[in-house]
């Protein structure tokens, strides 16, 4: 993220400025070469699991397709549910990733070129038609795959916990409270969210 983003956030929010000083430069690097299809399958695989467990399951899924780093949408559609379940995906996640693949073949999940021309709201509206893909999942794609600069995932547990820690809240704030406060961070709310996540790693 640019120095202009850090300057804006520091000037508009003296408390967040302290977090920025302690964390240092923002190292958020979007995986822009990753297709929306792959990003969504990965995101769904990681839902409600810690990173190591999700990595293991996703590796087992990919191992079902020798010679490829990641299955194509057609391959995933054609794979029996039992094989994906055997790799560790739950029933709900199996159905979700197969629907992502099917919706990719149908054009509901756009390719990289098409999605790059879409507005954030359009992307959320389009992709939440897919089974197992909610607003949070699309927000992760917007930030970590597409590199969109002004996304604030206010329902994310880490963002809520980081906000509570940074601003001295006893309880987790409601998403609406974060969204209202975060208006001062526009148009760099993705960077602000990244610093809230990092705040949880700072020594207290």
**Catalytic annotation present for 156:** yes
Q: Looking up tokens 């999940």, which residue turns up?
A: 109
Two structure tokens written together for 11:
């000037």
Q: What is the CA radius of gyration of the chain?
A: 18
Query: Please, what is the end-to-end C-alpha distance for the chain in angstroms?
Result: 26
Choosing from 63, 120, 156, 171, which is the catalytic residue? 156
**Helix 135-144 and helix 189-199, axial crossing angle in degrees, nearest 10:** 100
* 117: CB partners within 8 A, 6+ apart: none
DSSP string, 77-145: HHS-HHHHHHTT--HHHHHHHHHHHHHHHHTSS--HHHHHTS-HHHHHHHHTTSTT--HHHHHHHHHHT
Among candidate residues 81, 109, 115, the one with its CA nearest the CA of residue 95? 81
CB of 188 closer than 8 Å to CB of 8: yes
Measured between alpha carbons, how far is 118 from 37 in angstroms, rounded to an integer?
15
Q: What residues act catalytically?
A: 156
């Amino acid at each position: 993220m640019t120095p202009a983003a850090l300057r804006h956030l520091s000037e508009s929010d003296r408390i967040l400025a302290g977090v920025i000083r302690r964390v240092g430069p923002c190292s958020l690097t979007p995986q822009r070469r990753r297709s929306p299809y792959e990003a969504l399958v990965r995101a769904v695989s990681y839902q409600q699991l810690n990173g190591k467990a999700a990595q293991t399951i996703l590796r087992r899924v990919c191992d079902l397709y020798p010679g490829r780093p990641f299955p194509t949408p057609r391959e995933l559609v054609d794979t029996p549910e039992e094989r994906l379940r055997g790799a560790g995906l739950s029933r709900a996640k199996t159905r979700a990733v197969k629907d992502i693949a099917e919706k990719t073949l149908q054009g509901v999940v756009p390719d990289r070129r098409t999605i790059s021309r879409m507005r954030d709201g359009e992307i959320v509206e389009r992709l939440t038609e897919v089974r197992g893909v909610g607003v949070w999942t699309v927000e992760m794609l917007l930030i970590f795959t597409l590199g969109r600069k002004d996304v604030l995932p206010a329902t994310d547990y880490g963002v809520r916990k980081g906000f509570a820690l940074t601003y001295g809240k006893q309880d987790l704030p409601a998403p609406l409270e974060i969204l209202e406060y975060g208006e001062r961070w526009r148009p760099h709310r993705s960077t602000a969210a990244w610093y809230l996540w990092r705040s949880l790693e700072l020594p207290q």
